[in-house]
Chains A and B, each alone.
Chain A
Amino acid sequence: MNTKKAIVVKGLKKYFKKVKAVDGISFEVKYGELFALLGQNGAGKSTTIRVLTNLAVPTDGYIEVAGYDLLKDPTNVRRNIGLVAEKVILYNDLTAMENIKFFSRLYGIKDSISEERAKEFLKLFDIWTFKDMLISKMSTGMRQKVNLARALVPDPKIIFLDEPTLGLDPVSTKHIRDFIVGLREEGRTIVYTTHVLHDVELMNVDEVAIMSEGKIISKGTLKEIKKHFKKAEIVEMETDETLAKDKIKGKILIQEGGYLKVEVEDIGEFLRDVAKLNIQIRSFKTLEPSLEDVYVELSEGSDNNVEKGMRNTLNEEVK
């Protein structure tokens, strides 16, 4: 009884005594979609994933995963999902292959099949030669790759990835990020949580929901979210000579000689003013606000204390 939606969440609440970890969120994820759940630590992302994966009981709300009502038919939900959580789900005293076989057996998959599938993933991750190595002897990056293979070998329809790149070095992070994008291209449904906005932008996720204090404060495609919150445009230009500050209608962010980065309310008006100055323009581009800008703005709007150090500086060139 599959529906077109991979996940349907309506009014999900999860309270821990007085703490409202998740407070009435609703969203849908289509099959084949890469859906990102963004939010700072404690926003309620992981709790949402725990509820959706049947690891926590919701206080209230309707949840449908893979076409099955989570509360009425949890076994069928679990049959169709895979989880990569913050903690690596592997036994340190078992080898990579033993771990993969064990978890696959719980899905009713024969060893011969799981071995074949594991081979495919481990080769893709370039760790096939370490298949008989104990997990305790592996590096963090290797463990996470085995962990991903462990979750994917049972071939789940929907994969929940809860901060899978947490604590990984940049190279391993890139490998895993690229792998996730590849999974989406294969048509798998992926729910990905992170607070690393850079990853989300690089992966070009299909849809984003931003969580704060247990609520979804914004959702849509990356572009929709950025557009919706775009109050000003950022212009970066280089000219032959330094422009007089009083001639520029906008908030100057950086001005170093002929280089100018300015935030303007109306780009048309700004261009007309620049044209009147009759100066030589070497380069001109507008910068879209990054997801980080949106995220910080939204979070600050909901009185959250976002760590500024978390900011990345990726901007998308549109012109």
Chain B
Amino acid sequence: MRLWDIAWKDLKTFLRGRTRVVFSILMPIILMIMLGFIFPKAGGSYGGSIGVYSKDLIFNSKVEKSLSNTAASKMIFYNSRQDLINALASGKIVIGAIIPKDFSLSVALNRSVAMDVIPSPANPQAGIMMSQMLVGVFGSEGTKNTKRNVVKSKLVNADGTAFNYYDFTVPGLMAMIAIMSVMTGLASSITRERELGTLDGIMVTPISRGSIVIGKILAQSIRGIATAMVILVVSWLFFGVKFTGTSLLWTIFLLLLSTFSFIGVGVMFTAAMKDQETAMISMTTITFPMMFFSGVFFPIQQMPKIMQYIAYIFPLTYAADALRKVITLNVGWNFIWMDVVVLICFTVVTSAIATVSFQKLTQD
């Protein structure tokens, strides 16, 4: 029965750490509540405007005339593909349809015709649903006496390549992995040093407490860069994520900013924890729900309203949003500046708090 002795000892030592126990109880509660409430009731709503860029000159007037008022009110026509993409990036529309040159003629002749549909990177589920609706609208209402299934929709990315759900998750995953790697690094960096006594060795030197924190942040950021590079290569090699020169630079910048934005919080948490295990549990309690809340796997727009507000507390939400726009729509500063500003604010505020509170948290 010695194995029970081992188990008993492990459990008893675990229970002796009050913070550890509290976080261990909190984590499943938070996770269950969050996971239970982030999904919409009855499939959710798929509202929003539809963007249309038509290369078919006679299509616009024809569609406008024949569409019902409700459907027409939801449509916004754009003069170029880029305008349509920009509208998607700015969130004005949830889906962008590109009508080919011979669309009207093909429909009139009952010839099969496909339109490209670009779903919003923030809410691809809505895009997928609405693309089906568009097929119905343009295929039956837009023109009379057409055979069913003449009009088809093809879900594409902004660059014309076929869209799949992974295109939605990859950018968020990139940010999340970068953040997670830094968080685990921080937990071991600060708490481990404290356990070993080396943190005392540093703190007894004339170096300022602020420099210690910034040094730690710098080291973790370099780790973050390395992780981000691995993520980029894996995404490009195995998942067909394509980068242009600008989007690659933006991606690297955003991944870095994502890690920066969370490091301050990480420093505060790990500095306050007395041992590595407690630090890891507390970090998991924050980072794990963050994955689900920040729209990495599931669009925020599909969550109940209250959950959407909570989602905007997490920096990962902004990082994932900006990365999605950059990677899937290949847009730049004009469309991601808000996310960047928020992430910079997170970085500055949390790092400042971490620097100021580091001494209090690490001194007895």
Q: Do A and B bind each other?
A: yes
Q: Mark B164-184, 1 if CB is under 8 A from A, else 0.
A: 000000000000000000000
| B-side contacts of A268, CB under 8 Å | none
A44 vs chain B, min Cβ distance (A): 13
Q: How far is the CA of A110 from the CA of B196 in the complex (A)?
A: 26
Q: Which residues of B contact A103 (CB under 8 A)?
A: 201-202, 205
A85 near B200 (CB under 8 angstroms)?
A: yes
* Measured CA separation A50–B200 after assembly (Å): 9
Among A16, A54, A83, A86, point to the contact of B201 (Cβ < 8 A): A83
Query: Which residues of chain B from 242 to 262 have a CB within 8 Å of any chain A CB?
Result: none
Complex contacts, A78 vs chain B, CB 8 Å: 204-206
Task: Verify if B80 is at the interface (C-beta below 8 Å from A).
Answer: no
Tell me whether A87 and B363 are in contact (CB under 8 A).
no
Shortest CB-to-CB span from A214 to chain B, Å, is 14
**When the two chains form the complex, which single residue of B198, B208, B364 contacts A89, counting CB atoms closer than 8 Å?**
B198
Among B198, B206, B363, the residue within 8 A (CB) of A108 is: B206
Chain A contacts of B205 at CB under 8 A?
78, 103, 106-107, 154
- In the complex, the answer to whether A87 meets B202 with C-beta atoms within 8 Å is no
B60 to chain A, nearest CB (A): 67
CB within 8 Å of B: which A79-101 residues:
79, 81-83, 85-92
Chain B 191-227 near chain A by CB (<8 Å), digits 1 or 0? 0000011101111111110000000000000000000
User: Is there an interface contact between A50 and B206, defined as CB atoms closer than 8 Å?
Assistant: no
Q: Is the CB of B197 within 8 A of A55?
A: no
B285 to chain A, nearest CB (A): 26
Enumerate chain A residues within 8 angstroms of B197, measured Cβ to Cβ: 85-89
Chain A residue, CB-CB nearest to B359: A57
Dominant secondary structure at the A interface:
loop
Residues on A with C-beta less than 8 A from B196 are 87, 92
Cα separation A79 to B207 with both chains bound (whole Å): 9
**CB nearest to A87 among chain B residues:** B197
Q: Chain B 332-355 against A: per-residue CB contact (8 Å), 1 yes, 0 no?
A: 000000000000000000000000
CA distance A131 to B198 in the complex (A): 19
Closest A residue by C-beta to B360: A57
Given known pairs A55-B200, A85-B197, A89-B198, the reply for A107 and B206 (CB within 8 Å) is: yes
- Whether B363 and A89, one on each chain, are in contact in the complex, defined by CB atoms closer than 8 angstroms, is no
A53 at the interface (CB under 8 A from B): yes
Please name the residue on chain B nearest to A94 by beta carbon: B198
Q: How far is the CB of A318 from chain B (nearest CB, A)?
A: 41
Closest to A91 in B: B198
Does A41 interact with chain B (Cβ within 8 Å)? no
A192 vs B202: C-alpha distance when bound (angstroms)? 20
B201: chain A residues at CB < 8 Å are: 83, 85, 89-90, 103, 150
Return chain B residues, CB-CB under 8 Å to A92: 196
Residues of chain A in range 146-164 having any CB-CB distance to chain B below 8 Å: 150, 154
4 nearest A-B pairs in the assembled complex, by CB-CB distance:
A87-B197, A89-B201, A106-B205, A56-B364
- Spell out A's residues near B (CB within 8 Å): 14, 16, 47, 50, 53-57, 75-76, 78-79, 81-83, 85-92, 103, 106-108, 150, 154
Name 13 extra pairs, CB < 8 A, besides A56-B363, A87-B196: A14-B364, A55-B363, A75-B206, A75-B208, A78-B205, A81-B204, A88-B197, A90-B198, A90-B201, A91-B198, A92-B196, A150-B201, A154-B205
B residues sitting closer than 8 Å to A (CB atoms) are 196-198, 200-208, 363-364
10 of the cross-chain contacts (CB-CB < 8 Å) are A14-B364, A54-B203, A75-B206, A85-B200, A86-B197, A89-B198, A89-B200, A106-B202, A106-B206, A107-B205
